[in-house]
Each structure stands twice: as C-alpha cells, then as structure tokens.
Structure 1
Amino acid sequence: MAHDFDTMLRTIKDKQWSLADVDWDAPGAETITDEQRPKLKQFMADLVWIENIGAMGFAALADKAPTETIKQIYKYFHAEEQKHANAELALMKRWGMLDDGETPEPTVQVKMAIWVLDNFSDDMPLTGLATLIPMLECALDGALVKFLLDEVSDPVCHEVFRHINSDESRHIAVDFQVLDVVGAGPVRRQLIESAAVLKPQVLLGLIVVFVPLLNKMRDNIVAMGLSEQKLYNAVKRFVSNGDRSANTRRIPAYQMFKQQARMVIDRTHPYHRFLADPLVKLTNAFPARLLGKPPSWSKELTHEPVDR
C-alpha cells in the first residue's frame, strides 16, 4: 500500500494552531465543581505527562525515521505533543488547579518512563517505539480524552480538545502507515529489530517501567469513572488499526504490544496479579531521587499562551 507522506506533511503544516488562538478567559471555568476538582487535577496531571512521554517518543522516532519526510513529520509531532501538554496545563490553570509557574508532579512511574526514554531510546528499535507510541495514544490518550469530554462541560476545554484530537488523528494515521512501511521490509530486518528488543536495558525498561506505568494509568482512569467498556474500545482501536495491515501483523513488536494491551484491560488476567500489580507496588516504593533531576525540557512546560 502506497502512503503519501509528502501530502501528510503539508497538511500538518497547514493545520498548526497555538495556545494564543484560544480565549482562555471565556466563560465556562465555573462549571468545574469543587467535588470534581481534586480527582480532575490528578487526571489532568496524568494526561500532561502522557503527552510528554509521547513527545519524547516522537523525538526518538525522528532519529530512526526511514525517510526524511517521515523524520520531519515526527519532528512536528514532537512539538505538537508538547503543545498539547501546555494546553492541558493552561486548562488546569484556568480551573484553579495550579499556581503561577507550578507544574504538576509526575508519578514515579512517569518519572521512570522519562528516565528510560532519556537514557535508552537510542537502543530501542524503530519497530518497538513505532508500536509503543500508537498503543499509548489509542489506549490511554484516546480513552482519557473521550472520558474528559464526557465529564467536563467547559466550552474552552472542548475547543482545546478539538484541536488536540485533530492532531492526534494525524498522529495515529501516520503511526500505522509507518508500521505498514516497516513491516513490508525484509524478514532479516524484522529479526534483527526483534533481537534488539531483547537487549537487557530495553527489555528491563519495557517490563519494569512501562508495565507498571500502563497499569497505574489504567487503574487511575477507571477510578475516575471510566467504564471498562470504553477502555476496551480504545484498545480495540489500536488492534483493529494494526490488524488491518498484513505488513504490520508481521512485526513481532506489534504482536507483543497487542497482547499486552489486551491483558492491561482485562483485570481478571493473571498478568495483573503476578506481574503488573507487584510492579506498581515496587515502583511506588522506588526513591524518585535516584532518577536524578528532571530533564531540562520539563522546565519549558508552561500554561502561558504563545504564538506558533
């Protein structure tokens, strides 16, 4: 199947927006109730940091992109994920959840994911990263956003997420197009990339970091009231998009993450009892100070509206 990445790049450039396009003082902030605010604050904080993990993933993918056009697309996606995080911070500020200059504290699982991507993304194969990112976007980002828009009536929130959802639809489209292209490559390359996933630092990162991260996020959003069915539908979107391509189905990393996604949403699966839940407890007890200082880019997070 031929994919027109040049046209997609032009579309991405044409569809750029900025926080300055939004009237942050418009009516509607008062619709957030005192009862909603505490849980919504944690919910939004999780969303902000998921966006930043996505941004880091796209930055790493840009270095591994199979063509120059795809590299440029990934660079735009990196910037867009950062913009999404800043827009979500602006909503938190609008709703009285943040003081001036305050950034929500990431969970230890998020800190560990950032540390792994900062230190080991160069060792992660293209197929692994290119599969992990759409899984996070479909299963977590997609589910979170849909739930948020059902729960919050603030029209500014809905305006912001119209922009974000428009961006994310292009991210997901490109994610699966790239997987289709990569999956069409020679079997030898698939085997080499699969072996790269088994490197100790990569495997450890995937198991010890992303397993508890996904489980923690899953439980947090279910505790907020997201139905299991909606979470299932979000994961189903990832699987149905991937399975549509015979080339993508050839990628071992895709098959691995597909099975993990299915286990994540099934709370009765032994995966939770014997792996994910113990790892959540283990990482909760991990001293965050051992992960070092936050990366320098985290200081660039801001709720202040800026032009393109």
Structure 2
Amino acid sequence: MAMDLDNMLQMIKDKQWSLADIDWEAPGAELIEPDLWAKLKPFIADLMWIENVGARGFAALAKKAPNPTLKSIYEHFHAEEQKHANAELALMRRWGMLENDEIPSPSINVQLVINWLDKYSDGMSLSFLGTVIPMLEVALDGALIKFITDEVKDPIAQEAFKRINSDESRHLAVDFEVMDILGHAKMRKMLIEFVGGWLKPSLLIGVLSYVPLLNKMRDNIVAMGVDEERLYGAMKRYKSVGERNENVRRLPNYRVISWHAMKVINRKSKYHITADLLVKLTGRIPLRLVENKPTWSQELTYEPVA
C-alpha cells in the first residue's frame, strides 16, 4: 500500500522539536565512565558530521523531488539532520568534550565524503541519491544511534536520541517509499540513468570515499567494544527492503548497493583487502590538506535555540 505523502508531511510537522525542549544542564553527565568518555569523543564527533552529510544529501534530494509534497518533506529532513548535529554538539559540550565555542573536526573519511557531497551531490540523479542516502540512514539509525542509546546512561542523551531516533524512523519510511516509486520507472530509463551515472568520474571519486567510510565506521564500532554484527544487521535491513518489494529490486543502483552491503558484512570476502587498504591510505592523508568546512555546516551550534 502506497504511503500518503501528504499525511506524512503533516506528521513530520506535528512531530517537530527543538533543542530548547531539552534541559541540557540537568544532572546525569557524570554517569559516563572515563574510559567510555575517551572513546565517545571521536565517535560522536563523527556522528555529528555524518548527520551533516545526511542534511546535505536531503538538500540535494529536495532539488530533484518530483512533486511539491516530497520537496517539502526533504526540506524538513534537511533541517532535522542539522538539528540532530546540533543536539550531538550540545551533548559533547555537556560532557566537557569541547572548549568554548569549539567545533570538532571530522575524521578524514567523513571529511572526504563531505567534500564529495559539497562538490558533486547537486549533479547526481534522484535514482542515485534516493538509493544511497537510505543506506547511510540505515547504518546511522541501526548501528550508531542504537549504540548510544544502549551504552550511554546519561538521561539527557537518552532523551535527545529518543527524539533523533523518532525522526530517523520517518526518514527511513520515506526513503523506502521513494525507492518503491523510483522502481516503477521503465527499465530502459533506469538503465540509461544507471550507466550514465557510473560513467561520470565524479561517481568513482564518491565510491573511493564511501567504501573506506563504511569500513572505518565498522572499525570505530569495534573499537568501542560493540559487536560489529550490529552494523551488519543494519545493512541487512537495507537488503531486506528489496526482498519484500519487487519495484525496489528493479532498481540497478539498489542491486549494486545491496551487493556491496553484503560484501561489507562478510569479513571473509576479498573485498576487505581493498576496502581496508583504502582505510589505511586515506588515514595517511593529513587532514589539513582536505579540511573544508562548507557553508552549509556553519549552522552548527550547541545553543538550545528554538
């Protein structure tokens, strides 16, 4: 049964919240153990920047939306991802991880994806962005956020991520609905877009950024003491969408991304020789050579504005 996008848009509007709804000075910050605190700082800094990656992706999708309702939904999602990043920044400040108005730098792998999105995302097709963004959302929702809610006992973190998780569930519902809509297109049209997209050098650059990011996310999760099966389970969720929906299975980009996801979760695959090598190579790039905080990230603030 097709989703009523008008009803979804109204639900999104009704469920809006702001940082001002949360008491960031409430007790509970002291509940984080020192060992977890040290590991959590780079982890949540990357999570904050990945939220910004999602925001930029939704901004690009809004420009390609086939109707005004979906355009408005994507615009709301863009704003929500920025709000999530600000909430995570506020948590870092609450936990004493930042000095004054400091904005933490992203890891090299996240920075490379930011640079790619900033330069090329507006030129990507709806069929490409509409299948890639859900994979990143699934990984974010199913692994990273789930880890925070399970491991961090601070009640304010629990409240913030409960709100974030609620937003992300609506993002995924719309993501999967759009994949279904895209799958209704004629195969000839989908193949032309698919082949044309993969012939662009910019897409190869994106792949070379995306592959090490996923493997590095896995490394970070394991370093936090979390079973990597959590990330793998999230990726299986993406594949299961196509298993349940014939229209989604028709999408060439879905098939490629789903195939890649299965390679990522199979640690015995030779794919990891290349992926782990890319992690090592990108890890040697000095951040100063690629660091670029784009204008769309300048709305980052820990202030609890409405």
> Structure 2 stretches of 5 or more lacking a match?
none
Count matched residues: 306
Match of 1:9 in 2: 9
Note if contact 1:140-1:217 (Cα within 8 Å) is conserved in structure 2: no
Q: How does 1:144-183 map to 2 (within 5 A)?
A: 144-183=144-183
Quote the offset at 1:292 in angstroms.
6.0
Note if contact 2:2-2:177 (Cα within 8 Å) is conserved in structure 1: no
Note if contact 2:115-2:292 (Cα within 8 Å) is conserved in structure 1: no
Note if contact 1:45-1:105 (Cα within 8 Å) is conserved in structure 2: yes
> How far apart are the structure 2 equivalents of 1:256 and 1:95?
40
Distance 1:69 1:7, change over 3 A: same
Match of 1:122 in 2: 122
> How far apart are the structure 1 equivalents of 2:80 and 2:173?
15
Q: Percent same amino acid at aligned positions?
A: 58
Note if contact 2:64-2:126 (Cα within 8 Å) is conserved in structure 1: yes
Quote the offset at 1:70 in angstroms.
0.6
Match of 2:295 in 1: 296
Match of 2:281 in 1: 282
Quote the offset at 1:288 in angstroms.
3.5
Q: Deviation per CA, 1:201-246, whole angstroms, max 9, x where unpaired?
A: 2331232110111111111112111212222221122121233211
Q: Which amino acid aligns with 1:286?
A: I
The root-mean-square deviation of aligned C-alpha atoms, in Å, is 1.4
Q: Deviation above 3 Å: which 4+ runs of structure 1?
A: 287-293
Q: Deviation per CA, 1:42-61, whole angstroms, max 9, x where unpaired?
A: 11111101111111111111
The TM-score with structure 2 as length reference comes to 0.96
Q: Which amino acid aligns with 1:124?
A: M
Q: Secondary structure at the match of 2:2?
A: coil
Q: Deviation per CA, 1:29-69, whole angstroms, max 9, x where unpaired?
A: 11012121110111111110111111111111111112111
Quote the offset at 1:290 in angstroms.
4.0
Match of 1:261 in 2: 261
Quote the offset at 1:258 in angstroms.
0.7
Q: Secondary structure at the match of 2:293?
A: coil
Q: Which amino acid aligns with 1:133?
A: I
> Structure 1 stretches of 5 or more lacking a match?
none
2:75 counterpart of 1:85: no
> How far apart are the structure 1 equivalents of 2:196 and 2:78?
24
Match of 1:40 in 2: 40
Match of 1:25 in 2: 25
